[in-house]
Amino acid sequence: MSRVLGLVLIILALQGCASGGKARPFEIKNLAKSDIDMVADSHIRALNDLVRELTIKLYKRNPRELKKGPPGITVSRRLQLLLDSPRLINHPELNGRYGIDAIPLAFEPDFRGDRVFALMVGISGMLHASYSYRDEFFMLNDIDQQKLFNSARNLEAIAWRLNNRRLPNGDLFLLSNGIADNGVPNYSFERIFGKLIAYQDMMAQIVSDKTNRAINSVVVGFASTTLLPI
């Protein structure tokens, strides 16, 4: 058994367990998919679930941010704007920024908009770009292992910024990890970022092994304002 096929089987087994062991129904379009395509599709679904979870948690920790959005905006509507298919990539309240271009807004002192939305448009858009803006893959579609790897390193830098970047008055731009009222540390945000990073690194390695294309291992300085291109 090849290394790639072994990884594919492990991932599909783990994701089957996570979904309660329920098999997805067979669809004719799956005949036009390779094993890598099906794993990529599964990863995209898992990433979208994690983005949804992270968005909800950030709004719960930072309810003031939602009030900065358009009148009557809800978390459910924010999730639609982030994850609907086809994906909306032009958000006027962010001046059209998307992906890694939107992320700096969440940490700019002069930004008066919804920082959670800016951050999540950035994260979800970056992940979307790492899969070449596709929601589904077929045999003739190419996947770039370097984009996947770069997005994982960017996620590490974003997680650091979320925990360390502060407003001029010393307050964090956005609240995430912290200590609960009972004194128990809450690292749930860190766990979500860890899962996102693991999915991207795993997919990058699978694609690299399958295509024999090397990954250029680069490092993002956490204190840097620059993220790796996708």
Predicted local distance difference test score (pLDDT) of residue 4: 54
Q: In this model, does residue 229 exceed pLDDT 60?
A: yes
Kindly list the domain boundaries of the chain, sorted by start residue.
Answer: 32-211
Q: In this model, does residue 97 exceed pLDDT 90?
A: yes
Predicted local distance difference test score (pLDDT) of residue 179: 74
- C-alpha distance from residue 140 to each of 5, 18, 36, 52 (Å): 19, 29, 11, 29
Predicted local distance difference test score (pLDDT) of residue 123: 98
Predicted local distance difference test score (pLDDT) of residue 223: 67
**pLDDT 10s digits, 65-81:** 999 999 999 999 999 99
**pLDDT 10s digits, 140-173:** 578 999 999 999 999 999 999 999 999 999 999 9
Predicted local distance difference test score (pLDDT) of residue 220: 76
Question: How much is the CA Rg of the chain, to the nearest whole Å?
Answer: 18
What torsion, rounded to 10 degrees, do the Cα atoms 188, 193, 195, 197 define? -160
**pLDDT 10s digits, 15-66:** 454 445 555 565 656 655 778 888 889 999 999 999 999 999 999 999 999 9
| 204 in Cβ contact with 143 (< 8 Å) | no
Instruction: Verify cis geometry, omega within 30 degrees of 0, for the bond prior to 185.
Output: no
Predicted local distance difference test score (pLDDT) of residue 20: 53
How far apart, in whole angstroms, are the C-alpha atoms of residue 119 and residue 196? 15
Mean pLDDT of 181-187: 77
pTM: 0.85
Q: In this model, does residue 1 exceed pLDDT 50?
A: no
**pLDDT 10s digits, 114-145:** 999 999 999 999 999 999 999 988 765 789 99
Mean pLDDT of 94-122: 98
**Mean pLDDT, the chain, integer:** 87
Q: Which residue has the higher pLDDT, 186 or 59?
A: 59
